[in-house]
Amino acid sequence: MRSIAIWVLAALAGAVGPAFAQSCRLDEIIARGVLKVGTTGDYRPFTALDKESGVYSGLDIDLARSLGAALGVKVEFVATSWPNLARDFDAGAFDIAMGGVSVTLERAKKGYFSIPYLREGKTPIARCVDKDKYQTLADVDKPEVTVIANPGGTNERFDRARLHAAHILIYPDNATIFDQLAAGKADVMITDASETRYQQKLHPGALCAIHPDAPFDFAEKAYWMVRDEPLKAFVDQWLHLSMENGDFAAVTAKWLQ
């Protein structure tokens, strides 16, 4: 009787098991034929949205399309914003966030990060005539200094944690925030070193990156995805191969150099 019972339980497990089997997100993406990529569209050189054409461009946009090609699916860009990124992530609006996303422990609580693809850190950018004034945090953190920041991201969090005397001006449009700085609406901005280098190129002679090779802190950029181990394994392997075969270097040379 015991052997019969064991056989029956085994048979039931085999019959019922598939009904309870859950497909992973990687399988779902391949089955639907679409990879949903959340991106803000306002953080050059990683992601930028042309509002007239509705077309995205940037380093991470090119890499998102490369990831889609590796998966054999189309890429659908889902608009989000820095203040709403975590909320949209929780709501399942996209499979993966790409667009200069910094690795943070708060984000790591909600999902997986890929292997990092860029070492970063916060550093100042100011008008070139003032670049010698803002070499240290002590230089910046003075009552007469206005520090401009975009809302909801790591820049604002850094400023509020590290600056106690300076005036922090929150400017809502990340796409034009550096034009405000160049026009003298603020004295300095503290942001990722890669962004300061890029904006220096966009505003030659007007804005200067201040010691981007020696930032105030350490950070990394990576791709933030839903907590799905097969998806993370695929993204990590794709990124690793891209770095080894020269594809990643070609994209970064296009946008960062």
pLDDT digits (tens, 9 = 90+) for 60-111: 999 999 999 999 999 999 999 999 999 999 999 999 999 999 999 999 999 9
Whether 191 is covered by a domain: the verdict is yes
Please indicate, yes or no, whether residues 88 and 128 belong to a single structural domain of this protein.
no
CA-based angle 223:117:36, to the nearest 5? 25
What total number of domains does the chain contain? Answer: 2
Whether 55 is covered by a domain: the verdict is yes
* 137-154 pLDDT per residue, tens: 999 999 999 999 999 889
Whether 239 is covered by a domain: the verdict is yes
Please indicate, yes or no, whether residues 204 and 240 belong to a single structural domain of this protein.
no
Predicted confidence at residue 256, as pLDDT, reads 87
On whether the pTM is more than 0.75, the answer is yes
Token pair 């667009």 is at which residue? 99
Whether 139 is covered by a domain: the verdict is yes
Predicted confidence at residue 11, as pLDDT, reads 47
Predicted confidence at residue 22, as pLDDT, reads 67
The pair of three-digit structure tokens given for residue 217, joined into one six-digit string = 């802190």
Whether 103 is covered by a domain: the verdict is yes
Residues 63, 248: contact at Cβ < 8 Å?
A: yes
User: What 3-state DSSP class applies to 36?
Assistant: strand
Measured in whole angstroms, how far is the alpha carbon of residue 87 from the centre of its chain?
Answer: 15
3 state SS for 63-96: HHHHHHHHHCCEEEEEECCCCCHHHHHHCCCCCE
Residues 208, 182: contact at Cβ < 8 Å?
A: no
Please indicate, yes or no, whether residues 160 and 145 belong to a single structural domain of this protein.
yes
**Cα-flanking dihedrals φ and ψ of residue 93, to 5°?**
-70, -20
Please indicate, yes or no, whether residues 109 and 126 belong to a single structural domain of this protein.
no
Residues of the chain with pLDDT below 70 are 1-22
The pair of three-digit structure tokens given for residue 169, joined into one six-digit string = 């001006």
Q: Which of these, 50, 51, 47, lies nearest to 82 by C-alpha position?
A: 47
Please indicate, yes or no, whether residues 158 and 194 belong to a single structural domain of this protein.
yes
Containing H/E element for 43?
strand 42-43
Please indicate, yes or no, whether residues 100 and 137 belong to a single structural domain of this protein.
no
What range defines the domain where residue 68 resides?
A: 23-119+219-256
Predicted confidence at residue 23, as pLDDT, reads 81
Residues 219, 122: contact at Cβ < 8 Å?
A: yes
Please indicate, yes or no, whether residues 99 and 44 belong to a single structural domain of this protein.
yes
Predicted confidence at residue 257, as pLDDT, reads 75
Please indicate, yes or no, whether residues 177 and 201 belong to a single structural domain of this protein.
yes
DSSP state of 102: B
Please indicate, yes or no, whether residues 68 and 126 belong to a single structural domain of this protein.
no
Phi-psi region of 201 (alpha: psi -120 to 50; beta: other; left: phi over 0): alpha
Whether 18 is covered by a domain: the verdict is no
Buried b (16+ CB within 10 A) or exposed e, 125-146: bbbbeebebbeeeeebbeeebb
CATH of the domain at 75: 3.40.190.10
Distance CA 97, CA 228 (A): 14
Whether 101 is covered by a domain: the verdict is yes
Distance CA 16, CA 220 (A): 44
Whether 81 is covered by a domain: the verdict is yes
Please indicate, yes or no, whether residues 173 and 233 belong to a single structural domain of this protein.
no
Please indicate, yes or no, whether residues 67 and 194 belong to a single structural domain of this protein.
no
Measured torsion, CA atoms of residues 107, 237, 247, 86, in degrees rounded to the nearest 10: -10
- Tally Cβ neighbours within 10 Å of residue 110: 12
Token pair 């503290």 is at which residue? 190
Please indicate, yes or no, whether residues 46 and 77 belong to a single structural domain of this protein.
yes
* C-alpha distances out from residue 178 to 71, 75, 102, 147, 203, Å: 36, 30, 20, 12, 9
